[in-house]
Chain A
């Protein structure tokens, strides 16, 4: 986005058709400030992570990633995302379908509730599960009596992650589906298509890039969540530490290479996320242009 905006701007200058014609010094200053800011607050920390991770050489880097606790943290993070993202995908599509295509009582309440996880601090998101499922929580005694472990175990971590990543897909799809309206579906139905067929052949292809966009952001947050998961994890090494939690633990054990090696993996996830996100945006714009 940034680069494309910059490029468009340059093209506009070249063609001397720019709507705004700021003096060169002002343009230079504004662009300069933006670049310095990005360099200082985004690129420098990113570089610092990699420098620290490879500080003692590539061999040490690989060895610290192959540590059994680190592998367990990676597996747990992948598992959590593999459960949370599909759940929120299904929920997100269902909710935005309902909201965009139908009128019903309590619709605005539903929209507000979907935003709830964005509004509360992640620490509170974790705490509510302790209140619900903790030994002294509302459901704790019953769970304990039936030997079901939720908090300080994998299910709790998954639940907290599902909660904080709840809005991503729905938030992406609701405005999109609202803008698209219901004409195409109505046409399909009047031509004799069934409900399911209409959804698969008409609705889904229309929103596929929006879905991808939501899924990418949802996944990034699911893998990166710290606050909510920290409250509910119990920090058991090799069992309930996700990657972000494991980074903190390694750092506190003076294992800086290990901590930054895991952090570098999260950085790679972030970079892949950005590339995929840009791709989805690009595809989406192309499709809009065609239609």
Chain B
């Protein structure tokens, strides 16, 4: 596995729990710390990669998963969760790990194609069957009596993309007036009865618990909800404008060097860009970033006018500071119970 002390410690404690771990010294283990809605994608992708790696190198690799709101997951890695790779919802959270701990090289986002985003997505609406509240676009969400479900931007990456998409929509319709945009977003969050900590929590709130008239969520999460949990009970509404969401991936340098897993961890992420990886991304409703595969699926994904974070908000670090840091616009506008 790695150093002697670690192995001994694992024997003394975790080894008791996982008899299998002790017997297979050759077995490589990767921990992928990911955000909330990627559970199904990585479940299948991990099995595919393990098979690929076995064929290619003859070695067995086991990939462990941890899921949760992206901000919360980044926090756990900062506090010492030993992730070999992180696959989070937005670049800021990975920047934050890099800045606060130095576990990840500063130039991480240049190491893999397409800004280290093997797949992209956007944010759409999910409404009850037949769309009883006639929700078509962002401005329908601020109407009185419309109850909106979205996760908490403080802990969820998806929620931050949603917040920015709403802000961008308001900017566009008010000739770039920041004060009007702020007022629009404040109105929208007045209609939010519950903020879950991650996207998956919000989906269960909306679909399973039946709270709210509209759920704003990842396009992939909306497809999945229509296909699995809410089949025949919910439908997707595509707004006139949304945001291009780029969930990036990277190797956690200091952890893989310590575990001796850099080679397999790098190959794991690169496999996301192969035809197999891209097909799986499309299967779980992520927009493939490799053109050859993306072209095949143009019919699957709705055509939406997509804002770019770098153009409208000057990149993630700036957007985070303005909107989501303590005292940012979200803290100013979100006043529950008022």
Cβ of A134 to closest chain B Cβ, rounded Å: 4
Query: Which of B36, B79, B82 has most chain A Cβ within 10 Å?
Result: B79
In the complex, whether A149 has a CB less than 8 A from a CB of chain B is: yes
In the complex, whether A43 has a CB less than 8 A from a CB of chain B is: no
Interface string of B223-260 (1 = CB under 8 A from A): 00000110000000000000000000000000000000
A72 in contact with B17 (CB, 8 Å) = yes
Which B residues lie within 8 Å of A76 (CB)?
A: 17
A136 in contact with B78 (CB, 8 Å) = yes
A153 in contact with B13 (CB, 8 Å) = yes
Q: Which residue of B lies closest to A252 (CB)?
A: B200
In the complex, whether A148 has a CB less than 8 A from a CB of chain B is: yes
B63-88 interface with A by 8 A CB criterion: 64-68, 76, 78-82
Which B residues lie within 8 Å of A237 (CB)?
A: 64-66
Cα–Cα distance between A151 and B100 once the two chains are bound (Å): 18
In the complex, whether B14 has a CB less than 8 A from a CB of chain A is: yes
Which A residues lie within 8 Å of B78 (CB)?
A: 135-136
In the complex, whether B182 has a CB less than 8 A from a CB of chain A is: no
Which A residues lie within 8 Å of B201 (CB)?
A: 252
B82 in contact with A152 (CB, 8 Å) = yes
Determine which of A134, A148, A149 lies in contact with B79 in the assembled complex, contact meaning CB atoms within 8 Å: A134
Which A residues lie within 8 Å of B228 (CB)?
A: 254
B14 in contact with A239 (CB, 8 Å) = yes
In the complex, whether A17 has a CB less than 8 A from a CB of chain B is: no
A79 in contact with B16 (CB, 8 Å) = yes
In the complex, whether B39 has a CB less than 8 A from a CB of chain A is: yes
Query: Which of B2, B68, B80 has most chain A Cβ within 10 Å?
Result: B80
In the complex, whether A279 has a CB less than 8 A from a CB of chain B is: no
Cβ of B99 to closest chain A Cβ, rounded Å: 13
B79 in contact with A153 (CB, 8 Å) = no
In the complex, whether B51 has a CB less than 8 A from a CB of chain A is: no
Which A residues lie within 8 Å of B6 (CB)?
A: 147, 149
Interface string of A146-170 (1 = CB under 8 A from B): 1111011111001000000000000
Cα–Cα distance between A238 and B43 once the two chains are bound (Å): 13
Cβ of B70 to closest chain A Cβ, rounded Å: 13
Known contacts A135-B101, A152-B82, A252-B201; A234/B76 CB under 8 A: yes
Cβ of A179 to closest chain B Cβ, rounded Å: 40
Which A residues lie within 8 Å of B229 (CB)?
A: 254
B64 in contact with A239 (CB, 8 Å) = yes
Known contacts A236-B31, A237-B65; A72/B18 CB under 8 A: yes
By secondary structure, the A interface counts as loop
Which A residues lie within 8 Å of B17 (CB)?
A: 72, 75-76, 79, 154, 239
Which A residues lie within 8 Å of B31 (CB)?
A: 236
Cβ of B288 to closest chain A Cβ, rounded Å: 23
In the complex, whether B5 has a CB less than 8 A from a CB of chain A is: yes
Cβ of B101 to closest chain A Cβ, rounded Å: 6
* Size bracket, chain B contacts: 20 to 34
Cα–Cα distance between A254 and B207 once the two chains are bound (Å): 11
In the complex, whether A258 has a CB less than 8 A from a CB of chain B is: no
A235 in contact with B101 (CB, 8 Å) = no
In the complex, whether B3 has a CB less than 8 A from a CB of chain A is: yes
B9 in contact with A149 (CB, 8 Å) = yes
Cβ of A175 to closest chain B Cβ, rounded Å: 36
Cβ of A142 to closest chain B Cβ, rounded Å: 12
In the complex, whether B109 has a CB less than 8 A from a CB of chain A is: no
In the complex, whether A214 has a CB less than 8 A from a CB of chain B is: no
Cα–Cα distance between A214 and B14 once the two chains are bound (Å): 27
A135 in contact with B68 (CB, 8 Å) = no
In the complex, whether A180 has a CB less than 8 A from a CB of chain B is: no
A147 in contact with B3 (CB, 8 Å) = yes
A227-250 interface with B by 8 A CB criterion: 234-239, 249
Which B residues lie within 8 Å of A79 (CB)?
A: 16-17
Cα–Cα distance between A235 and B65 once the two chains are bound (Å): 8
In the complex, whether B204 has a CB less than 8 A from a CB of chain A is: yes
A152 in contact with B9 (CB, 8 Å) = no
Cβ of B20 to closest chain A Cβ, rounded Å: 9
Cβ of B230 to closest chain A Cβ, rounded Å: 10
Cα–Cα distance between A154 and B12 once the two chains are bound (Å): 10
Which B residues lie within 8 Å of A149 (CB)?
A: 6, 9, 82
In the complex, whether A224 has a CB less than 8 A from a CB of chain B is: no
B9 in contact with A134 (CB, 8 Å) = no
Which B residues lie within 8 Å of A234 (CB)?
A: 66, 76, 81
Determine which of B13, B67, B80, B200 lies in contact with A151 in the assembled complex, contact meaning CB atoms within 8 Å: B80
In the complex, whether A144 has a CB less than 8 A from a CB of chain B is: yes
Which A residues lie within 8 Å of B67 (CB)?
A: 235, 249, 252
Q: List 26 A-B contacts (CB under 8 A).
A: A133-B80, A134-B79, A140-B80, A147-B3, A147-B5, A147-B9, A148-B9, A149-B9, A149-B82, A152-B76, A152-B81, A154-B13, A158-B13, A236-B31, A237-B65, A238-B64, A239-B14, A239-B18, A239-B64, A249-B67, A252-B67, A252-B200, A252-B204, A253-B39, A253-B40, A254-B228
Interface residues of B (CB under 8 A from A): 2-3, 5-6, 9, 13-14, 16-18, 31, 36, 39-40, 64-68, 76, 78-82, 100-101, 200-201, 204, 228-229
Apart from the given pairs A136-B100, A234-B81, 16 other A-B contacts in the complex at a CB distance below 8 Å:
A76-B17, A79-B17, A130-B79, A136-B78, A137-B79, A146-B5, A147-B5, A147-B9, A149-B6, A152-B81, A155-B13, A158-B13, A239-B14, A252-B36, A252-B67, A253-B200
